[in-house]
Each structure stands twice: as structure tokens, then as C-alpha cells.
Amino acid sequence: MCADATRLEPVLARIDAALPEATGRLLEFLRIPSISTDPAYKDDCTRAAEWLVTQLRALGIDATIRPTSGHPMVVGHVGSDTVNDTGSDTGGDPGDGRGPHLLFYGHYDVQPVDPLDLWDRDPFEPAVEDTAKGQVIRARGASDDKGQLMTFVEACRAWKDVHASLPGRITFFFEGEEESGSPSLVPFMRENAAELNADIALICDTGLFDSAVPAITTRLRGLVGLEFTIHAASRDLHSGMYGGIAINPIRVMARLISGLHDAQGRVTLPGFYDGVPELSDEIRAQWQGLHFDHERYLADVGLSVPAGESDRTPLEMIWSRPSCDVNGIWGGYTGDGFKTVLPAEAHCKLSFRLVGSQDPQAIHDSFVKYVKDNLPADCTVTFHADKGSPAAQMATDDPAFEKARQALSDEWPRPAAYVGCGGSIPIAGYFKDILGMDAMLIGFGKDDDQIHSPNEKYDMESFHKGIRSWARILDALTRPEDAG
Amino acid sequence: MCADATRLEPVLARIDAALPEATGRLLEFLRIPSISTDPAYKDDCTRAAEWLVTQLRALGIDATIRPTSGHPMVVGHVGSDTVNDTGSDTGGDPGDGRGPHLLFYGHYDVQPVDPLDLWDRDPFEPAVEDTAKGQVIRARGASDDKGQLMTFVEACRAWKDVHASLPGRITFFFEGEEESGSPSLVPFMRENAAELNADIALICDTGLFDSAVPAITTRLRGLVGLEFTIHAASRDLHSGMYGGIAINPIRVMARLISGLHDAQGRVTLPGFYDGVPELSDEIRAQWQGLHFDHERYLADVGLSVPAGESDRTPLEMIWSRPSCDVNGIWGGYTGDGFKTVLPAEAHCKLSFRLVGSQDPQAIHDSFVKYVKDNLPADCTVTFHADKGSPAAQMATDDPAFEKARQALSDEWPRPAAYVGCGGSIPIAGYFKDILGMDAMLIGFGKDDDQIHSPNEKYDMESFHKGIRSWARILDALTRPEDAG
């Protein structure tokens, strides 16, 4: 790293020195109540977008407000005039755009603040508070996502302050509807695909693995959700007159649900595990090194025993194995007291979490076939497909991933890990599907940030080391290959 | 029967001759809107009770109104001064009270009439209507239970007209709260147990097996009902973060429900079939002779295949075999759309129909043990027992049953059968439990009587042959053994 120290170290020093000003800017940003879901805050959302444009322009970035039918997007570009379009490493000074063309995504809108009486302060009057665990920035949006977004902007500012220009070609892309379902996002991405095209997306909306271990989320589970109804008799029956002779659709439903898993907790649908990869030895070693405290993870919600496939580790159950869950069930009499009804119908909402290259449509079809094949006489079934998206697995063999992981490892007490996310993060899928690029999900949030809840906070350590982390990553991704 | 013909035949002739007057009295009774569940009809209920007292007194019966905290009871006695208490057959003329002491039960209250616009006439302006299937008496209560109740009263009236007295010791017991849950019935029976004590109860509130085959209902299934909740995590979870590692209580519930039956449709609970008797050859032959049209029975509700134990006949499934049904189930997200929740709880209402001497408490306990024994780690269960009553099986070896069955067979085109009732008829259980006597459930209703629905009717044939049936039964039960 000797050759690069002169490039990176002054930036890190600048970040440390300018932290008070950076914090002040974040507090200013946090004072704008940009609640996207509530029309009363429409002007505030626009104001937050305008504030970001001002920040970016101060860094020499060509940034503009881009109207949508909802809240505006902010798009900015830098380095595009000084590099060739391939973005390949052709040597030269740090400011001339070597390395991949990066796109940084964040969102400036925040969640509503109800219940307001559970807040210890005005959610839009932010402050730095001293706590037993250190300083925190307290406000709605402090962690999700204004604080995280600003870690990248402040890293760029420090770089600009030191080197007079940013280290490569970067597109900035901010939306204001993430907390209200992102209705304008996909249309905007499709309409502006050429402009938004880049080599890799950077997204700062996730968390650390724990306070010592940074993480790059490289795998997100996909989802197949559907609702189905078993129909039996033409009307609800009296269980005295018909109990024993008439088929009970709730019993049919229970048998179908019960048959979806075997004794080892594996899903029994034919072909279900097609496309489910085994972990590489490298990732398995990384995850073992995380010493995931599944007992605490489960104890936090009143549980103690991992309930998935009996031959899998707890982290595998959440990050790298598919699952099947009933999300809702209803049928018959569900009110107070008792009614000896033999119901005509039973209903179920069910979803599969997918990994690897599992095909949502194939799994949907396999489930439909399973239900139809196992439907007893006199029953019919109707299906309503609700959601379907494949899992996302980033191409970590792209050297950029390993460079970023090393850069994070240099900043934090312990090495960074490639982690999974049991849920879906739609934006990552959109970048892949619409713009054909992988996303690097790197964030500095902590489990106790209380995002979406009263008293949201962002640790000052997350903010400070987050800015430093991005400086290191910018350096790593744009550093000439032969340096060092 | 030669010796008895002179006793019975004039009564039957009198019934035939006086049918117009009997019908007129029933229409008068039907004009009283004695809807027990609606306080607006309280005075009408009392008026119906008073009307019955007048009818009974006209037959020389010592009848009185008996107030309760709800609608009044009507109790009348006849023959008590002229017989010894044992009621045994000691010979003598038909009027002196030989044969068992009978108690006849019926109810004078009726169901509400909503929706009124679906009636083709005022439900309390009864009329005899000509239909394609013959004459019917159309009004609320025509079948349930005023018409049925009056078959017995009119049989007594004809007997009295011909023989100047009734043929034995008879207690009349009418209530006015049957359609509103009979809140006063059990307390009244307990408080007046000595007065209501008799040898056998006659209840006219059931139906013919079909229009040619009369029936005595001799077995009623019992009931164990309970609600249970499976508790898992301390709160609803996100299926992305926890799907695969956290236990899903709906899946646990489904497996428990699914495990309650084996592939042959038998209930798997240990000890469940203790006390379930096999049919006698005689009853089996009777039921085979009924040629039960299970295809029509099921087709009426959109089904086609008997779904119970694979080695049992359809009539056994309903009348003589226990069953287990889920009456309601709910858990998780059940609204519109989709929510990837992993619920904290799942709920179920479940009931068992019992036969023979199955013990409700033992079955409740066996089910509770089954659930607890099969509960996975991290789950707890809470139970709420709702209902429990044993099955009722009448002592058909009491010669009175066979006498009544023969008497019915003499009246109708085909022999009478001892049938079952898949549901419970609480009053029969009360007579057994509180007064220690079996009940003979004999009625003349038809499946298309539309009781509890608009346009309720009672066939004139049911009314006429019903009166004649009771005359034959009264004769058969009080006939000297050595006559004939």
C-alpha cells in the first residue's frame, strides 16, 4: 500500500478533521421532514432533493432535479468528460477517471414518525447525544437513509478537498420514494437507462454485521408469494349433519401445508432445490469466522432453537437456503365462542424465499401441481399469484468486490464479510434487471438503530468510519493495478 | 291386533273425521307470533302458552302456566289420580292408566321470520295451500314445532272424544325458549324434577326418514369442542429475516391437524375409539333397508364422495361413527394483498362428534396430550374448552321402543327405522341426565319443510298421519300385554 498511502491518507485525515462540519451538514439535512408517504410533506421532499443538488454542485458535480409523477429524483454525474467510456484502467493521475464507472444510490425520504409521543425529542430537531454506547445522531432518517447517504457524499467531499477532483467516474442517483414503495423508480430507470448505465452500483442502505465486522451484502433471497383457496361444499355445513361424511377443506389445507416439508425440514416440492448452490469453501469459512450468535438472534424474539433444515447452520438457514412459510391462514368460524360449522372454503397465503438461480415461475408451477395432484375428490382450488422475484447473487468474482472488502477490512477492527440478506432489496434487483449491473450493498447501520421506529439514531462511529470506509473503497476501486 | 282394533280403530276414524277442525286449531295457534328471541313478542309468547293451557284443559288435563325468568313453561298432568306410581301393566280398561308414565315435550316458540321479503305470504297468516306435492300448511312454526306439537295433542283429543279419557298417565311439558337457547329449561327441570318424573319422554321435533319411512331417533352424537392457540415467537416476524430459522406456528398447527387422521380417515388419538360400539346386526339390516341415497345427500351441498372412514357406510359416518372436524382456523396476515409476515400465533377451533359411551373428558384430555406431546421446541399452547356432552343412545331394548316402532310401521307405507342424528338434541340429554329417562324422538317433518327459513310449511300428510301415528303409539304403549 506504500504508493497509495499518499493518495488515501490525506483524505482520511481530512475526514477526521472535518467531521464537525460534516455532522453539521447531516443535521441540516435531517431537519427537512421529507416524509414521502404523506402528501402534507410534498414540498419538504422537494426541498430535500434541492438540498442534495446544492451539496453535489458544491463538489463540482453536474447535478439536477428530475421530476417524476411523485417525488423528484436527483441525478448527478462527475468525471464523464475526462474519461473514455470504457472506464478501463489506462494509467494517469487519480483524478482522471480510472477504475469502473460507479453509480451511488441512496434515498432522501424518511418514514413517518408516529407514534410521536414515543419520541424523546422532536424527530426533525436532530442532535448529537452522548449515550452509554457512545455518541449518536438522533433524528428520523439519521440512519435510514440520510446518514448513510451522506457517508458517501462526505467521502467525496474530502477527496475533492484534498485532490481537487473525484477519483473516477461517478453517477449519483437519489430517490425520494423508497419509504413509500418507489412507484416512480422503475419507470425512471427504464426511461433513463442510458444515462444511468454504469459498471457497478454502490448502495448504502444496509448494516454492519456487528459493531466490529463490516459487511458487503452479496446475496438477497428472492420471493414467490401466492394465495390459494380450497373449495369443497357449496355452502357452510352443520358438522352434526355432515361431520364424518363431508370433506373439510381446512383439513385438506392442513394436510397440504404439512406435506410441504419433510422430517428434516426440507421442502418436498419436486425440483424445489434446482439451482440452489452449495456455499464455496471460502464463504463457508468467512461465515464460520463471523461466530453468528444465533442464540441471541432468536432470543430477541422469544425463540431458542433454529427451526430450519436440520443439517444446515443458522446463517445458512437465513442467507443461503430457500424457505417456505405460511404467512396467513383462515377459514370457517373465527369469532368468539363456538359454531359447529363445517366450512365450505379454506384460505392460505404462502411464500417461498429463493436463493441462487431458483426459478420463481418453476417453483410457482411445482407448488400448483403439488396442490392439484394431492387434491381429494370434491375439492377444487383457486390460486392468486402475488409476488415473484428471483434471488440476487452478486458476481463476487469481479475484482471490485474483493477490493472493496479489503478496503473495509482496513478500516474496521475485524475483516469484512460477504453476507446474505434473508429478505429482498428490490433496488438491487432493478439495477441488475434494468441496467445489467451488480450492486455492492455496503452500509454502516446497526441492529439497534431503530429505523422505522421512534428515537431512530445513527452512531457517530457509523457516520465517521462510514465516511472513511467509502474513501478507502473509492481509493481501492480507482487505484492503478500496478501501484503498491 | 284383533282385540285392540275396537280400541284404536274408532280413534283413527275420529281423527280422520275431525281433521278439518284439528287443522283449524293449528292455524289459530300459528297466528300467534311467538318469536322467543325478540322481546317485542314477549306477550305473544305468553299468549301461545295460554292458548296451549286452554287446549289441554279442554281435554281434562290439569294444565298450568309456569312462569320462568324468560318465557313461561306449560305443564299438564292427566291420569295421575287413577294409576299407581309404578305404572305397571295390571290389566283393566284402557282409561285407567296402564303402561308407562309418558312425558310429552314440545315447544310453542318459533324462529324469527327475516328476511320477510322472501316469504310468499305473511308468516303469521297461515293457510292450507295446494302444491304439486299435495296440501301444505304454510306459516312460521308450521313444522317447527307447532304443527308437530299439535299432532300429539290432537291424538289425545281424538282418544278422549272416543274413550272419554286418555289411555294412561301422561305429563305434558311445553317450553317457549327452544329457539333462543332454552335458558330456563335446565333450571326448571331441576327445580321440578319430581313433578316431571316419568318413565319415558316423547319428543315430536324431528323428521321422517323419508316420505314413506317413519323414524325413531335413538342415537344422538355427543360433542367435544375446543379452541387452541399455538404460540411461537414473541411477536410477528419478517419472513425475510427469520424465514427458515424461526418456527412457524401455522405450520405447526397444520401438522397437528394433519396428524389427527390416518390414511383411512380414522382419528389417531390414543383411546379415541374406546366406547364406540359396532352396530347390531338388526340395526345394520334396518339401515341397509333404508337405501340411504347418500349421493343425493351430498349432491345437495355440491359434494359426491363420502369423505369419512373408508371402511364405513355413509349412514354409519353420520349416525354411528365419531368424527373430528376443524370448525375454524386463523393466523398471520389475512387481509388483501400480501405481507411476508411470519406469525407469532396460530388459532384453531376444533370439535369431535361422539358416539356410544365415548367419554368427552377423556377425549378432551387425549387431544390435549397429543398436542403437548407433538409440540416442537419454542412453541407453547393454550386451550379453551368450549363444549362437551356425551352421545345419547336410547335403550331400545326397552319394549316401549319396539312397540312404538311397530305402531309407526302400521301407519306408514314402509316399516319404521331406528335412526341416528349426527348432531346433538340437547333436550334428549337433559331428560336423561336430570330426569333419568330415555327419550323417544318421533317426528313427521320433511327435509323440505324449510324450518328456520322463509316459507316454512308442514305437509298436511305429516299432520294427519302424525296424529294417527301418535294414536297408534298411545295404543301400543298402553295396551294390555295379554290382549291380541
Are residue A194 and residue A335 in the same domain, yes or no? no
ipTM of model = 0.86
Any A CB within 8 A of B213 CB: no
Q: What is the pLDDT of residues A120-141, one digit of tens each?
A: 999 999 999 999 999 999 999 9
CB B464 within 8 A of CB B15: yes
Task: Write the single-letter amino acid at B355.
Answer: V
Size of interface A-B (CB pairs under 8 A): 279
Smallest CA-to-CA distance from B251 within B187, B342, B320 is with B342
CA distance A430 to B182: 65
Task: Look at residue B97 and tell me whether its pLDDT is greater than 80.
Answer: no
- Look at residue A24 and tell me if it is in a domain: yes
Q: What is the 3-state secondary structure (H, E, C) of B43-106?
A: HHHHHHHHHHHHHHHHCCCEEEEECCCCCCEEEEEECCCCCCCCCCCCCCCHHHCCCCCEEEEE
Tell me the chain A residues in contact with residue B253 when contact means C-beta distances shorter than 8 Å.
Answer: 254, 329
* CB–CB contact A246 B301 (8 Å): yes
CA distance B45 to B74: 11
Q: How far is B394 from chain A (nearest CA, A)?
A: 18
Q: How far is B209 from chain A (nearest CA, A)?
A: 14
* CB–CB contact B225 A338 (8 Å): yes
Which residues 360-379 in chain B show a CB within 8 A of chain A?
376-378
Query: Bridge partners of A457?
Result: A138
CA distance A96 to B377: 60
- Look at residue A446 and tell me if it is in a domain: yes
* CB–CB contact B257 A247 (8 Å): no
Predicted local confidence at residue A429, as pLDDT: 87
Peptide bond into A145 cis (omega under 30): yes
Q: Which of A245, A303, A317, A389 to mutate to test the interface with B (most CBs of B within 10 A)?
A: A245
* CB–CB contact B377 A304 (8 Å): yes
Q: How far is A413 from chain B (nearest CA, A)?
A: 26
Q: How far is A426 from chain B (nearest CA, A)?
A: 13
Query: Bridge partners of B80?
Result: none
Are residue B373 and residue B421 in the same domain, yes or no? no
Among residues A367, A389, A411, the one where a domain terminates is A389
Are residue B457 and residue B331 in the same domain, yes or no? no
Tell me the chain A residues in contact with residue B240 when contact means C-beta distances shorter than 8 Å.
Answer: 221, 223, 353, 421-424
Are residue B272 and residue B188 in the same domain, yes or no? no
Are residue B77 and residue B157 in the same domain, yes or no? yes
* CB–CB contact A258 B261 (8 Å): no
Torsions phi, psi of A203, nearest 5? -125, 125
Instruction: List CB contacts of A86: < 8 A, sequence separation 6 or more.
Output: none
CA distance B180 to B188: 16
Find, in chain B, the residue whose alpha carbon is nearest to that of A266.
B244
Q: Kindly indicate the confidence band of residue B80, based on its pLDDT and cuts at 50, 70 and 90.
A: low
Torsions phi, psi of A380, nearest 5? -125, 165
Q: What is the pLDDT of residues B342-371, one digit of tens each?
A: 999 999 999 999 999 999 999 999 999 999
Q: Is A422 exposed, middle or buried (0-12, 13-18, 19+ CB in 10 A)?
A: buried
Are residue B108 and residue B86 in the same domain, yes or no? yes
Are residue B429 and residue B441 in the same domain, yes or no? yes
Among residues B389, B420, B435, the one where a domain terminates is B389
Pairing assessment for the beta strands B127-131 and B73-78 based on DSSP bridges: unpaired
Pairing assessment for the beta strands B127-131 and B134-138 based on DSSP bridges: antiparallel
* CB–CB contact A422 B353 (8 Å): no
Predicted local confidence at residue A96, as pLDDT: 47
Any A CB within 8 A of B242 CB: yes
Torsions phi, psi of A84, nearest 5? -80, 165
- Look at residue A155 and tell me if it is in a domain: yes
Find, in chain B, the residue whose alpha carbon is nearest to that of A250.
B326
Note the residue count of chain A: 484
CA distance A214 to A443: 8
Mean of the per-residue pLDDT values of chain B: 92
Note the Cα A395 to chain centre separation in Å: 17
Any A CB within 8 A of B249 CB: no
Residue the block writes with cell 442464540? A295
Q: What is the pLDDT of residues B109-167, one digit of tens each?
A: 999 998 899 999 999 999 999 999 999 999 999 999 999 999 999 999 999 999 999 99
CA distance B34 to B44: 5
Which residues 41-60 in chain B show a CB within 8 A of chain A?
none
Predicted local confidence at residue B4, as pLDDT: 63
Which residues 383-442 in chain B show a CB within 8 A of chain A?
386-387, 421-424
Predicted local confidence at residue B84, as pLDDT: 40
CA distance B470 to B412: 12
Are residue A89 and residue A143 in the same domain, yes or no? yes
Instruction: List CB contacts of B120: < 8 A, sequence separation 6 or more.
Output: B138, B454, B455
Smallest CA-to-CA distance from A446 within A48, A105, A131, A30 is with A131
Are residue A227 and residue A257 in the same domain, yes or no? yes
Find, in chain B, the residue whose alpha carbon is nearest to that of A387.
B338
Any B CB within 8 A of A338 CB: yes
Predicted local confidence at residue A4, as pLDDT: 63
- Look at residue B105 and tell me if it is in a domain: yes
- Look at residue A292 and tell me if it is in a domain: no
- Report the b/e string of A73-83 with b at 16+ CB within 10 A: bbbbbbbeeeb
Any B CB within 8 A of A248 CB: yes
Are residue B246 and residue B124 in the same domain, yes or no? no
Any B CB within 8 A of A234 CB: yes
Query: Bridge partners of A442?
Result: A216
CB atoms under 10 Å from CB of A212, counted, come to 10
* CB–CB contact B377 A317 (8 Å): no
Q: Between B304, B321, B424, which is nearest A244 by CB?
A: B321
Among residues B368, B389, B410, the one where a domain terminates is B389
Tell me the chain A residues in contact with residue B307 when contact means C-beta distances shorter than 8 Å.
Answer: 244-248, 376-378
Q: Kindly indicate the confidence band of residue B2, based on its pLDDT and cuts at 50, 70 and 90.
A: very low
* CB–CB contact B308 A255 (8 Å): no
State mean pLDDT over B380-406: 92
Torsions phi, psi of B132, nearest 5? -60, -30
Q: Which of B229, B297, B325 to mutate to test the interface with A (most CBs of A within 10 A)?
A: B325
Are residue B122 and residue B9 in the same domain, yes or no? yes
* CB–CB contact B353 A244 (8 Å): yes
CA distance B272 to B370: 11
Q: What is the pLDDT of residues B402-442, one digit of tens each?
A: 999 999 999 999 999 999 998 888 888 899 989 999 999 99
CATH code at position A339: 3.30.70.360
Any B CB within 8 A of A314 CB: yes
- Report the b/e string of A40-68 with b at 16+ CB within 10 A: ebeebbbbbbebbbebbeebebebeebeb
Q: Is A376 exposed, middle or buried (0-12, 13-18, 19+ CB in 10 A)?
A: middle
Find, in chain A, the residue whose alpha carbon is nearest to that of B252.
A258
- Look at residue B446 and tell me if it is in a domain: yes
Any B CB within 8 A of A69 CB: no
Q: How far is A11 from chain B (nearest CA, A)?
A: 37
* CB–CB contact A233 B302 (8 Å): yes
* CB–CB contact B240 A339 (8 Å): no
CATH code at position B96: 3.40.630.10
Q: How far is A36 from chain B (nearest CA, A)?
A: 21
Which residues 122-181 in chain B show a CB within 8 A of chain A?
none
- Look at residue A471 and tell me if it is in a domain: yes
- Look at residue A483 and tell me if it is in a domain: no
Q: What is the pLDDT of residues A179-229, one digit of tens each?
A: 988 999 999 999 999 999 999 999 999 999 999 999 999 999 999 999 999
**Where is pLDDT greater, at A462 or B388?**
A462
CA distance A354 to A394: 15
Tell me the chain A residues in contact with residue B227 when contact means C-beta distances shorter than 8 Å.
Answer: 338
Q: Which domain holds residue B428?
A: 2-219+392-478
Predicted local confidence at residue A426, as pLDDT: 83
Find, in chain B, the residue whose alpha carbon is nearest to that of A262.
B255
Task: Look at residue B82 and tell me whether its pLDDT is greater than 70.
Answer: no
Q: What is the 3-state secondary structure (H, E, C) of chain B?
A: CHHHHHHHHHHHHHHHHCHHHHHHHHHHHHCCCCECCCHHHHHHHHHHHHHHHHHHHHCCCEEEEECCCCCCEEEEEECCCCCCCCCCCCCCCHHHCCCCCEEEEEECCECCCCCHHHCCCCCCCCEEEEECCEEEEECCCCCCCHHHHHHHHHHHHHHHHHHCCCCCCEEEEEECCHHHCCCCHHHHHHHCHHHHCCCEEEECCCECCECCECEEEEEECEEEEEEEEEECCCCCEEHHHHECCECCHHHHHHHHHHCCECCCCCECCCCCCCCCCCCCHHHHHHHHHHCCCHHHHHHCCCCCCCCCCCCCCHHHHHHCCCEEEEEEEEEECCCCCCCCEECCEEEEEEEEEECCCCCHHHHHHHHHHHHHHCCCCCCEEEEEEEEEECCEECCCCCHHHHHHHHHHHHHCCCCCEEEEECCCCHHHHHHHHHHCCEEEEECCECHHHCCCCCCCEEEHHHHHHHHHHHHHHHHHHHCCCCCC
Query: Bridge partners of B380?
Result: B231
CA distance B424 to B420: 10
* CB–CB contact A328 B341 (8 Å): yes
Q: What is the pLDDT of residues B181-221, one digit of tens each?
A: 899 999 999 999 999 999 999 999 999 999 999 999 999 99
Peptide bond into B145 cis (omega under 30): yes
Smallest CA-to-CA distance from B217 within B228, B227, B230, B203 is with B203
* CB–CB contact B318 A247 (8 Å): no
Please tell me the total count of domains within chain B: 2
Any B CB within 8 A of A447 CB: no
* CB–CB contact A333 B349 (8 Å): yes
CA distance A277 to A358: 9
Any A CB within 8 A of B214 CB: no
Are residue A343 and residue A471 in the same domain, yes or no? no
Tell me the chain A residues in contact with residue B241 when contact means C-beta distances shorter than 8 Å.
Answer: 318, 422-423
Any B CB within 8 A of A268 CB: no
Q: How far is A239 from chain B (nearest CA, A)?
A: 7
Q: Kindly indicate the confidence band of residue B389, based on its pLDDT and cuts at 50, 70 and 90.
A: confident
Any B CB within 8 A of A381 CB: no
First to last CA, chain A: 5
- Note down pLDDT in tens along chain A; length 484 residues: 444 679 999 999 999 999 999 999 999 999 999 999 999 999 999 999 999 999 999 999 999 999 999 999 999 999 865 444 444 433 334 344 478 999 999 999 999 998 899 999 999 999 999 999 999 999 999 999 999 999 999 999 999 999 999 999 999 999 999 998 899 999 999 999 999 999 999 999 999 999 999 999 999 999 999 999 999 999 999 888 899 999 999 999 999 999 999 999 999 999 999 999 999 999 999 999 999 999 999 999 999 999 999 999 999 999 999 999 999 999 999 998 888 889 999 999 999 999 999 999 999 999 999 999 999 999 999 999 876 888 988 989 999 999 999 999 999 999 999 999 988 888 888 999 899 999 999 999 998 999 989 999 999 999 999 999 999 999 999 987 654 4
Task: Look at residue B42 and tell me whether its pLDDT is greater than 70.
Answer: yes
